[in-house]
Structure 1
């Protein structure tokens, strides 16, 4: 059993140690100094860039303002233009990583009951329980960015995301990909179901359970929805129960496929074949296309005769130079599959129209497709 990571900082009566919390699996900073409302944004920015973390002892709302001030200083740094889309992507990821590292240098203490012992601090107990689990009673330290993130996730979980095609809301849990981009939901809603699939379908990598719910709404009698992530499994079960589909959908922990075969197998894997910078990015980044290739290579063994596999995939990676269309088609062929048809949709998210975005050209050209695959 691995012991929790700890962080050490100086106090007047000697060094202190507390549990270190990071949902991004970032190691605790090695150098920590105490900071309060007297510190200036310029000094805080310089220390953070040097790798010195600031454990906050002042007003919580002032800490938020300081984080915004440091963010503004980061944004003033000129961006290097990428010569190619791939250069632009790599520079963007490098900038994101440096930004996260710098902004992660402002630290917040948590008492053993998840209370923040600072003036004007919000109540974060329930948000911490949803993210970290029940408290063990020990004090801990985390980044202000993580605190703000879990507060935001808690609000999203309460409010939910409106899914018009379901005429209902899906409530994402912390760390589970939120269905804020509705293109892939639209594709599953409008593609004709194979007749035999009305009895059984598999939803691979279900996440929030949104596609399983949509298949249930479309009349599929039985859906088996799989995921590896315990948070996703809990999230999907909660959403499907709330929507009244718990009896229709079985949520199962599995690496891709459940046992058996089905006439319809649906998968919406991460679209970008690159290494995630944190555990929370696994829904977007698929290193070496592991999930994509795992789905393709295992599909034939899990389809009933005449069945279809629905692969939902954006071509964003193709426009970035991370994957080519010929690579995708070759992987489909090598898996013993043929393309029976394809449905396409253009993106609607704001970044697709934001010319200031460093990846604008790729985003503007992006098309999301539902590939209908059959056994050759």
Structure 2
């Protein structure tokens, strides 16, 4: 009986339990309000259905959240990812719109390559400001958040750039192997991130820097390099997300593309169980958190929540998830999980107590000196 209770307690303490419960609850709510919500069908060689749409539309958020996870694990934050998304989409669409043949595969690949290089440079710039210059992450990335949005509008000349390119459409709106191509990109990048952080030492370095940057530096870890790598990777993820968003709508809007996606990414990371103070992180939790955010958006539309209360509804659900993840809240509200009792003090003379301190030894020596006199 005690083993069953211990297993149940361990299950309730698992950091992914409550996000899974919330995701299942949201899916059940959609099933109640939407006919054939769970139905997935094959049409024209492609998979279609509400679940596929959640994965497809949530793919950019998952990518941005993956990069944000590594940055937050270092104890930082990146508020500029939305601007990098806008810059990426604007830069790619501007180059493709200038091609004589917008369906040229070489021209599209060149535009994508230039965009990814710029995204890497923007991420490295954030890392340079944080790691080398020593600016606080929230300030360093706020600079690019403001300036980057203006740069995106400068690239588009304040207009919405529209393109008609079949190869570029594949990135965010096309299908391959019956699945949306964006989902395949997310799977590949998530697997690569998991390999780099869990099979190599990079993940351990990131957690060490996030736990204590000075201690990790003294132990031989190049904390500056780790920070720059984390922010550079975050910029790359945001750039790919910008390509996917602009490709899906075949246009670039420097003003609205990626607007507030940084907040959704931070929420996804927090819901997934990664602490904002840095240290340990969970990639699977981040992916789950991003799916919760996208499913919540779908739920809002399906149950007919008024548009003016959408953000309030989203904030309410996110608050509930965060509270359920807190062991202290569960203990106070529901009595779930018991605190471990403090170990009893050692019995005198059992050999487990502390030895005489220097002060006690000094007092004993003085008493012996007085007696001898």
**TM bracket, shorter-chain basis:** under 0.3
Normalising by structure 1, report the TM-score: 0.24
Identify which of structures 1 and 2 has the higher relative contact order when contacts are C-alpha pairs closer than 8 Å and 6+ apart: 2
TM-score (norm 2): 0.24
Higher helix share: 2
